[in-house]
Amino acid sequence: MSRINAAIASILVATALGTSAEATPIVADGVASISLCGTLLKERHWGPPNFGEDPRHDSKFDAWFVVLKKIVKVQYGSEQSSLRKIQIMPRPEVPIGTNTKRRLYEVTGTLDTAVAPAEVMQVTLWWKTLREVKHCP
């Protein structure tokens, strides 16, 4: 089992058991597939052209996040952070009016270091599958 797969397995087991996953961080490498579970959250953020430096002329956009039940430690480059919410991109297709705070979603994809202005956190989960679930694994 590779180090990345072992780290993912450790996080999933720790989350399922309700223990801290701080010993083994998730690596944001843009390659390994991971699965996270939580509620979805939409936040308004400043957009182009100046991302909040000129509020009279800057646009706003909706950024989407998965809010986890437990904090996870994420390694991106030489840095580490403990995160409870992780931005997901591209924007999920959630029907208007859906109360995402009361529904659980399993989000699968690759975690990568944020590089674009629309990526508002240190890391971004580029999702491949997003499905509503009754319980987090």
Return the residue matching tokens 């270091």: 113
The dihedral over CA atoms of 7, 8, 13, 16, expressed in degrees to the nearest 10, equals 140
pLDDT at residue 24 greater than cutoff 60 = yes
pLDDT at residue 1 greater than cutoff 80 = no
Of 2-11, 54-63, 95-104, 115-124, give the lowest mean pLDDT range: 2-11
User: Tens of pLDDT along 32-58?
Assistant: 999 999 999 999 988 888 888 888 888
Give this prediction's pTM.
Answer: 0.74
* Strand bridging mode 79-89 / 60-76: antiparallel
pLDDT at residue 6 greater than cutoff 50 = no
Q: What is the pLDDT of residue 124?
A: 95
pLDDT at residue 5 greater than cutoff 70 = no
User: Tens of pLDDT along 125-135?
Assistant: 999 999 999 99
